[in-house]
Amino acid sequence: MPLDLDSSLAYETVVRGDPQGILLLLHGVGGNETNLAGLAEQVDPRVACVLPRAPLAYAADHFGWFDVTFRPWGPVIDPDQAEASRARLAALVERLQERWGVGRKRTVIAGFSQGGIMSAGVGLSRPDLVCGFGLLSGRILPELEPRIAPAEALAGLSAFVSHGIEDPTLSCAWADRSDAWLTKLGVPVESRRYPAGHELTAEMARDFLAWATVRLLPS
């Protein structure tokens, strides 16, 4: 499938008709827009699925949203790159909503690993754009805190957090921290743990899609 060209990001789309909802699925670091294509194919055909490509190129078909180095005390990121990617994604969401005439109440952003990190970044900073975000084997960046929207703006937002309890890349403790932070912010969260590593299993995908579909389509 050819990439659509946007002024902020390149992306693929899976659209089977006149969309009633929009779901953005973001790949992890070192991946590309095809990584979550299988998940996109499982989405209800009434939903437009968008697969953005991260802006930083590391090698052929390997991209990232921001540079990260894993230290003994935890991941160290390039915050300027993370912020630039967050802004690009927010701009893309706005353009997609204008294109298809779909509002925030039927828009969800989600991603795996670093893609999940970016999804949380967009959701918590721009709840005027999305009704929910999926954090799949990721974390919420501490650097995001100054950009988190006020409590009244977060009132219509919800989150899905999933993580493998055997994850060797981002330990399950990150999911626990995300749950605690979201609870403190007053954001309803559906949180699940799985006997898995740093991966997106069929069970994880099924549970996420069940959560997302309720938000993407009218009952």
pLDDT (tens digit, 9 = 90+) per residue, 7-42?
578 899 999 888 999 999 999 999 999 999 999 999
pLDDT at res. 201: 96
pLDDT at res. 3: 65
- Dump the DSSP string for 132-200: EEEEES----GGGGGGPPPTTGGGG-EEEEEEETT-SSS-THHHHHHHHHHHHHT--EEEEEES-SSS-
Q: Is the pTM of this model over 0.85?
A: yes
Q: What is the DSSP letter of 19?
A: -
Predicted confidence band of residue 206 (pLDDT cuts 50, 70, 90)? very high
Total domains in the fold of the chain = 1
Q: What is the CATH number of the domain that holds 31?
A: 3.40.50.1820
Q: For a pLDDT cut of 70, what percent of the chain falls above it?
A: 97
For 89-144, what is each residue's pLDDT tens digit? 999 999 999 999 999 999 999 999 999 999 999 999 999 999 999 999 999 999 99
Report the C-alpha gap between 136 and 214 in whole angstroms: 18
Residue 132: strand pairing partners: 108, 158
Predicted confidence band of residue 72 (pLDDT cuts 50, 70, 90)? confident
Q: Based on the number of CB atoms within 10 Å of its own CB, is 152 exposed (0-12), middle (13-18) or buried (19 or more)? A: exposed
Q: What range does the domain containing 166 cover?
A: 4-216
